[in-house]
Structure 1
Amino acid sequence: MTRTTTPAPPPGAPAADRDVAGLVDDLTALLGPDLVLTDDRSLDKASVDGSYLSPILRAQWPIGRPEVVCRPTTVEQVPAVVRAAVRRRVPVTSRGKGTGNYGQVVPLHGGLVLDLTALRGIDHVDPEAGVVTAEAGVRMLTLEKRLAAHDSQLWMYPSTVQSTLGGFLAGGSAGTGTIVHGRNHEGFVEALDVVFAHEDAEIVHLEGADAQPFVHTYGVAGIIVRATVRIEPLQDWRCVYASFEDHHDAFAAVQKVHRVSPAPRLCSADGAHVASCLPADEAIPAGRASLRAIVDAAAVGQVEQIVAAAGGVVEAVRRGVNESIKVSTLSYNHPTHWLQKAEPDTWFHMEVQGDALVERLDEVEAVYPGGTLHLEAGHGRMFGMLNGHFTTAEAAYAGVAALEDLGVRVHSPHQYRVDHGTEGVRALAAGTDPYGLLNPGRWES
């Protein structure tokens, strides 16, 4: 686990010879003045992401601010932008919607923020081959809805459905569909079009194993501009809401629901306090723990039996793509968001994993004052967000050893370093980014 609590070096620390003014001129000639931004509002917006969920990171703000933002409108413009940045020795941080929770798209060393949200083309949908090819800026919500018109669905999509495809692949990890397919670097990606930080940068097409090192690595080795990802036949999903008197019963039910066949697409649960902070819904009654699941229509009867056997009540069974997306937005980090919104300056969370989350729930929640767990079913495992009352960063990290003693794996959301295949990615980046310009400051110090 990474335990980073110190701020990054000040923006502009590397590349003392950078020529930002020259780059602004180059980009203006390439893209036009409306797509090259140096005003304070644009720079401030590109300086933050969803890391407000971490009081530890929030206390360090600002951790980085760009000197210029540009917004290419075609994939083909990106290599020219990168060539100009390399020539001027200006760091480049690629960015989608900025919905990540860990500060990975904040430009720690300033320079250029490359906003890819205008690259929204869906190039090819092939249900027979089981793939879709789309540009990096297309929203996952848009992609899922477009696929439904082809009787298809994504293998997975993030709980923040407004995220972009490139952002999810570069910065995400798991989401709706993880129960069946694992995380986004475990077979989801078939191919990538990537731009390296070379003086003669062009779009490089990578397939299979060659593409995988660029997934979940925050753009430090290459900028994803287009991706081909796995899809599958559209299932007849139902959104099941259930409530329980006690969250122990709800969590025990999650362990069983995620094993039904056909497998669910998502299964989440919260205790009564967290559930009370979620958006109002008659299917999430006050004072009761909540279980929410996206299950195949053929498995609804099995889920109803599990809920009843655990002493719960099925509050609603809903259908449709929009209903599935709604349930997705109440999973993963989103309950923590609603908890913090209801009770500001109170909560922090740790990402946790293991069967002990259910089997030793009282001990797990007792590690932190006010401890309350949001539970998710994953690919053969239980994981979630353990929320506690925040006092200091030192106190937050002090609980990690106690959790590990209980058999809980812990990942800190309070850091912005590459935490997946670090040494391999560092070796790769030595060739794809020889000047160290791609999202610098992401390596463990």
Structure 2
Amino acid sequence: MSVATAERASIAELYDALVELLGPRGVTTDRRMLERASVDGARMSPVISEMLPLGVAEIVAFPTTAEDIARVVDAAVSRGVPVTPRGKGTGNYGQAIPSHGGLVLDTSRARAIVEVADGVITADAGAPMAQLEQAARETGQQLWMYPSTMNSSVGGFLAGGSGGTGTIAHGANHMGFVVALEVVHADGSGLHHVVGEEAQRYVHNYGTAGIIARASVRLEPAVDWRALYASFETFAGPLSVLRELGRLEPLPRLVSADTREVSAALPQDPAIPRGRSSLRAILHPDTVATATALIEGAGGRVEDVRTGAAEGAKLSTLSYNHPIEWLQKSRPGHYYHLEVGGDILADDIALVHDTIGGGLLHIEAGHTVPIGMLAAEYRGPEEVLAAIARLEAIGVGVHNCHQWNVDFEMPRTVELARSTDPRGLLNPGKLNPDYRGPQKGSIR
């Protein structure tokens, strides 16, 4: 029997096993469904877009509980079929694309809220973060941190994200956010309960060392936040007050600002006037007056102050990579973007923009220094690498997000995967210590 024939036989056998486990609606090999499950938001990256598609699933499973997630993984790995976990598919860089075919494990139907306790909420991996926030608020609590894409799943956010609304107070990379996880290894051993530092080893590694099936994350007392919208004639205005706003006590949930060009690309809202630089903040109600004085003292004007959890959530969707994504939609294929950080973003934005031959910044008040997304005209992957070098030379911290390889605690994840995934079946192609960036036409 040839290798190809053996692989087809394994998929057919797995299909039958999953039908028995999940029912006929819990598994599919329909071509349209396979293609739909094999894409994420990678088209945001012009570098990765040049290489799409990176891979296509051969079978997709839709478990509805954490226990079924474990059973599906066990069924696949026992037959040597690679498994690519997928949440809501909101990631931007191909981490959920099945580069080696095999099974896509779509967790989006496993969305039960298991428990809301004092300071902790537990949910299955596919539960949307907005659902967790709503459940928490019904008990007078709120999520300690949530992503700008609030419809992303808790499992996907923990496996692929790195921070979100709330990082001014709590920092990024989920440190302290994750209380416990139920994870699945590629050895047929079912669910493993991990807590504290052990749980952190499974965060932000795209399921390459263990797939998150259930998560317990931290809550804090709810705040009746205010969503403040302001505008300035130029970008210099919000830059002059961004850090001071970010240090208000009690600390804000979020402070964001954009150049006039990026602001003009945002969804139309009377509080985001065209031709002006927008600043938006999720503030504790006790700090609104102080924030207003700071803004007006810097020549800005407060456009609106809105009340309610929904308004804060809406404002959060205009933070982090979202403004630059709106800019990219205004001129498809024209812009690339980089994650950046450092005081120089606020202190000398003209130098930053000039260093990459003209650019547009979305900026956030970070936990320690300003962070943001920097957009510039795309002239090919080589120019992206050259721009990174020039930015680093002037003191800008840069993360090259145009790649799908694990980029957080790589040695730790490699060491963990040696025992949890000895055959390399969990999201293969995403954990390569020798990775040096995407090459057009290749996948590693």
TM range (shorter): over 0.9
The counterpart of 2:206, out of the listed 199, 218, 225, is 218
2:296 counterpart residue number: 308
Do the aligned residues in 2 keep the contact of 1:356 with 1:407 (CA within 8 Å)? yes
Q: 1:121 maps to what in 2?
A: 112
1:75 — aligned with what?
A: 66
Q: 1:33 aligns with which of 24, 37, 62?
A: 24
Rounded Cα–Cα distance in structure 2 between residues aligned with 1:280 and 1:18: 53
Counterpart contact for 1:121–1:134, Cα < 8 Å: yes
2:251 to 263, 274, 279: 263
**1:80–1:201: 8 Å Cα contact kept in structure 2?**
no
- Give deviations 1:276-317, integer Å, cap 9, x for gaps: 110111100110000000000001111111101211101101
Runs of 4+ in 1 over 3 A off after TM superposition: 15-18
5+ unaligned residues in a row in structure 1: which ranges? Answer: 1-11
Gapped runs of 5+ residues in structure 2?
436-444
Structure 1 equivalent of residue 441 of structure 2: none
Q: Is the 2:224–2:309 Cα contact (8 Å) retained in structure 1?
A: no
- The code of the aligned residue for 2:147 comes to P
- Return the letter of the residue paired with 2:354: A
Is residue 269–residue 290 contact of structure 1 (8 Å, CA) maintained in 2? yes
| 1:336-351 superposed matches below 5 A | 336-351=324-339
Q: Give runs of aligned pairs for residues 289-438 of structure 1, distance below 5 A.
A: 289-438=277-426
| Deviation at residue 63 of structure 1 after TM alignment | 0.6
Matched, 1:170 2:159: yes
Match of 1:89 in 2: 80
- Residue identity matched to 2:225: W
TM superposition shift of 1:17: 9.3
CA positional deviation for 1:176: 0.6
Structure 2 letter corresponding to 1:68: I
* Aligned residue number for residue 440 of structure 2: none
Amino acid at match of 1:155: W
- Paired AA for residue 177 in structure 1: G
Q: Aligned partners of 2:304 and 2:218: how far apart in 1?
A: 31
Residue 314 of structure 1 aligns to which amino acid in structure 2?
V
TM-score (ref. length: structure 1): 0.94
Q: Give the superposition deviation at 1:370.
A: 3.8
Q: Distance in 2 between matches of 1:345 and 1:185?
A: 32
Deviates more, 1:136-145 or 1:77-86: 77-86
| Structure 1 residues 127-146: aligned runs within 5 Å | 127=118, 130-146=119-135
Deviation per CA, 1:234-267, whole angstroms, max 9, x where unpaired? 0121011110011011122111100110000001
Range 423-432 or range 376-385, more displaced = 376-385
The answer on whether the counterparts of 1:82 and 1:201 sit within 8 Å (CA) in structure 2 is no
2:163 maps to 1:182: no
CA shift, 1:79, in A, is 2.1
Deviation at 1:201, TM superposition (A): 2.3
Q: What residue in structure 2 maps to residue 196 of structure 1?
A: 185
**2:7 & 2:389 partners in 1: Cα distance?**
41
Shift of 1:37: 1.0
How far 1:386 moved relative to its partner? Answer: 0.5
Deviations 1:38-83 (A, max 9, x none): 1111111111111111000011001111100000112221222112
Amino acid in structure 2 at the alignment position of 1:186: M
**Counterpart in 1 of 2:242?**
254
Moved more, 293-302 or 339-348: 339-348
- Kept in 1: contact 2:356–2:391 (CA 8 A): no
The answer to whether the 8 A contact 1:57-1:415 is kept is: yes
**Paired position in structure 1 for 2:193:** 205
Residue identity opposite 2:395 in structure 1: G
SS where residue 201 of structure 2 aligns? helix
Question: Residue deviations 1:159-217, cap 9 Å, x none?
Answer: 0111000000000011110110111431100100011111x321110111110100111
Q: Return the alpha-carbon distance in structure 2 between the equivalents of residues 33 and 149 of structure 1.
A: 36
Deviations 1:303-350 (A, max 9, x none): 111101211101101110110011000001101111111122211101
- Equivalent pairs, count: 430
TM-score (normalised: structure 2): 0.95
User: Separation in 2 of the partners of 1:434 and 1:39?
Assistant: 30
Deviation at residue 226 of structure 1 after TM alignment: 0.7
Shift of 1:369: 3.8
Q: Is the Cα contact below 8 Å between 1:244 and 1:250 reproduced in 2?
A: yes
Q: Shift of the alpha carbon at 1:18?
A: 7.7
Question: What letter is aligned with 2:160?
Answer: G
Q: Pick which of 320-329 and 142-151 moved more.
A: 142-151
User: What secondary structure sits across from 1:204 in the alignment?
Assistant: strand
Q: Give CA-to-partner distance per residue, 1:359-416, whole Å, 9 cap, x none.
A: 1210111123441100011211211011001111111111111101111011011000
Secondary structure at the counterpart of residue 269 of structure 2: coil
SS of 1:175 mapped into structure 2: coil
Q: Does the 8 Å CA contact 1:91/1:112 hold for their aligned counterparts?
A: yes
CA contact (8 A) 1:145 1:321 kept: no
**Alignment check: 8 A CA contact 1:195 1:204 kept:** yes
Tell me what 1:239 maps to. 227
RMSD: 1.5
Instruction: Answer whether contact 2:183 2:212 (CA < 8 A) is retained.
Output: yes
Shift of 1:35: 1.3
- Give the Å deviation of 1:229: 0.6
Deviations 1:6-36 (CA, angstroms, capped at 9, x unpaired): xxxxxx99x9798222111211121112111
